[in-house]
Structure 1
Amino acid sequence: MSEQQGRKRGSAPGDSELSHSGKKPRAPPQAAAPCAVVKLEREEEGDAGQGSSSSDARRAVVAALEPQAMEQPQLKLVIGMSVFHCQACFRPLKPPAFMCESGHIVCCTCRGKHGEACDRGRATAATFAACPGLDVVLRDAKMPCQNEEFGCTSLVVYYQAGDHHGECQWAPCFCPAPGCELFSSPARLADHLNTHHRWPLTSVRYGEPCKLPVPAPEQGCHVLVGEGDRSPRVFLVSPSALGAATAVSLVCASANAGGDQFMYMLWVEVPGNKEKLVLILPAVRSGDLSCGLPTADTDVFLAVPPVLLPEAQNLFVCIDKADAAAANSTPPMVE
């Protein structure tokens, strides 16, 4: 983890259970190991509530930050990393695992390469035996996500951890407000921008238009939170000065490019007629906001001329997941 990621850290206090019964305490069960700690885990509770108001959006963010529901007891153990790494490629072991005559445990795909090394100076070819018992452990050995401190409560199978970390939407982002040093998950960032910087926050449904005022550059962004996501997706409607006009862009606060992809449309209706100024892009730009907000010099934008700004309460934003948008042949434009 980078030095920036270590700046804002916090840890939840541990829980303890006390028995207040008049009866003699029951003998504790046999411990599996002296260092083992029994930890209860639970699945996430329901998704954030529906609605498009700022309060609904804040509830969606807060709900995503609550602890997951308890379910099955788990053992928290400390085991040397070498046990779970292939001794040929030194990467996490993936089942099925095999052991050679020398006692080295390797992945299935590494048998040939490792066998050649074992054959040197031997009269017979090395043989390998399957390790079904170890395969059971490899499939069940889990670790917390590296973004646990930022809100991710996933327990990831060890050999799949790299894939999860590359797509985890709780990976931290920087606060884009000038002078602010917050570094946290998009969900916490959205709440911070709304409560600390007073940027308006609205909950949006994918594929449905949302009507907003054109934000003024000096007032900051308008924060949008997508509904129905396990980890809330946060989008910023970002204004910047373009002479007397206003350039409006959209950016997704996400440190990872993996997972769902989004397309979007921005348009402004001209008062008194059906004409529209429209910007349609097949992909929403995303990033950890380490370089700040997009500007007219660095990003694609919808230019709102000054003649429309005095009555600019008619900015429409429609964000949709790329797969859903491709299946829908009719653009969700307001008639």
Structure 2
Amino acid sequence: MSEQQERKRGSTPGNDEQTLSGKKPRAQPQVVAPGVVVKQEPEEAGAVMAVQAMDEPQIKLTFGVSLFHCQACLLPLKPPTFKCEAGHVVCCTCRGKHGQASGRAATYAACRERDAFVRDAKLPCRYEEFGCKSLVVYYQAADHHGACEWAPCSCPAPGCDFFTSPPRLVEHFVADHRWRVTKVRYGAACKLPVPAPPQGCHVLVGEGGRSVFLVSQCALGAATAVSLVCVRANGDAAAGAAQFKCKLWVEVELPSNKDKLVLNMSAVRSSDLSGGFPAADMNVFLAVPPVLLHDASGDAPDLMVCIDKACVPGGGTGQE
């Protein structure tokens, strides 16, 4: 992340301590008062733990992260957990490793009390300032952050260092760059003008408003290369495969015939746009030759775009 991006994105929560706002507790005399904070030693990093039960009020507590980390692999504890006679708590898969590391055989017992805390410990998403309101189970935080659709992306306009989540980038594109925005329905074709300077790109917003796409152009010799990218910081890595597929085509009425140029994209690339607009030689693109840039009337042709959700491992489709 560049220094410019750090300046533009605004302040972020401190690394030493994270807090969680719980629900206001109901009046019950035996319950700890709301807002009670229990802190460990100053040098220990904080982790938020919300004690949750079906009919119980919620409070916020701060614990040292060592209570939530396996003492063998040092990663967040995942249920079921086990405790040896020395009091060390480890994950199920680390029992053998921990015994070997200690140099002696160890006896482990299920640590159901710790499991209850591990399952309920939650903290705000690290991208809360960019719009994510999720409360994430602590040991699942890495998976959430790797897939979070609110992870920030860059504005690709030259000289612009704006940096925020894709949905909020749309507002910036309109207010600061006057780029055209079109809402699209998955599986349905929409008609756009072939992008050309000075506009340079067209913004497409998928159903639900959370997935954002950019249609951009660049010169490719005498032709125009038109490409489409999903604006998402971690879309491909999160799903294990691209979440969307796309079809681009141009139809042109010429005096003697009607020409059609089609590009089928089985996988739409995701990008955080930190390097600006994706270059034609780095992405799949539709190369529109000069003869197809104008129809019989001399007007620019329409670009037809159809975006749909792609199948992902497990037989489902990409999530919006």
So what's the TM-score if we normalise by structure 1? 0.74
CA distance in 1, matches of 2:218, 2:78: 49
Matched, 1:241 2:219: yes
CA distance in 2, matches of 1:226, 1:165: 22
- Opposite residue 81 of structure 1, the aligned amino acid is V
CA distance in 2, matches of 1:79, 1:279: 54
Cα distance per residue 1:118-152 (max 9 Å; x no partner): 453xxxx4211111121111111111111111111
Matched, 1:269 2:251: yes
Name 1:317's counterpart in structure 2: 305
SS in 1 for 2:250: strand
SS in 1 for 2:247: strand
Cα distance per residue 1:199-255 (max 9 Å; x no partner): 0001111111111111103212100011036xx111100111234432101111111
- Opposite residue 133 of structure 1, the aligned amino acid is E
CA distance in 1, matches of 2:100, 2:195: 66
CA distance in 1, matches of 2:79, 2:117: 9
- Opposite residue 230 of structure 2, the aligned amino acid is C
Per-residue deviation at 1:307? 3.3
Name 1:216's counterpart in structure 2: 196
Cα distance per residue 1:76-95 (max 9 Å; x no partner): 32110100000011000000
Per-residue deviation at 1:309? 2.7
RMSD across aligned positions (CA): 3.0
Matched, 1:35 2:33: no
Indicate the larger mover: 243-252 or 94-103.
243-252
From 89, 97, 114, the counterpart of 1:113? 97
SS in 2 for 1:276: strand
CA distance in 2, matches of 1:86, 1:27: 35
Contact (CA 8 Å) 2:36, 2:61: kept in 1 or not?
no
User: 1:42-81 to 2 correspondence within 5 Å?
Assistant: 74-81=58-65
Matched, 1:186 2:166: yes
Name 2:228's counterpart in structure 1: 250
- Opposite residue 9 of structure 1, the aligned amino acid is G
Contact (CA 8 Å) 1:5, 1:172: kept in 2 or not?
no
Q: 1:30 to 1:98 in 2, by over 3 A?
A: closer
CA distance in 2, matches of 1:3, 1:91: 30
Matched, 1:9 2:13: no
Name 1:40's counterpart in structure 2: none
Give the unaligned 5+ runs of structure 2: 14-20, 22-26, 39-55, 316-320
Name 1:20's counterpart in structure 2: none
Name 2:280's counterpart in structure 1: 296
Cα distance per residue 1:46-81 (max 9 Å; x no partner): xxxxxxxxxxxxxxxxxxxxxxxxxx9643321101
SS in 1 for 2:75: coil
Q: 1:74 to 1:225 in 2, by over 3 A?
A: farther
User: Larger % of strand: which?
Assistant: 2
Q: How many residues align?
A: 275
CA distance in 1, matches of 2:63, 2:5: 25
- Opposite residue 202 of structure 1, the aligned amino acid is T
CA distance in 1, matches of 2:82, 2:125: 27
Per-residue deviation at 1:167? 0.8
- Opposite residue 10 of structure 2, the aligned amino acid is R
Percent of residue pairs identical: 65
SS in 1 for 2:219: strand
SS in 1 for 2:263: strand
Contact (CA 8 Å) 1:201, 1:225: kept in 2 or not?
yes
CA distance in 2, matches of 1:141, 1:217: 51
Cα distance per residue 1:103-124 (max 9 Å; x no partner): 111001111121234453xxxx
CA distance in 2, matches of 1:82, 1:243: 59
Contact (CA 8 Å) 1:217, 1:240: kept in 2 or not?
no
Per-residue deviation at 1:174? 0.8
Name 2:206's counterpart in structure 1: 226
Per-residue deviation at 1:33? 6.9
- Opposite residue 319 of structure 1, the aligned amino acid is I
CA distance in 2, matches of 1:182, 1:151: 15
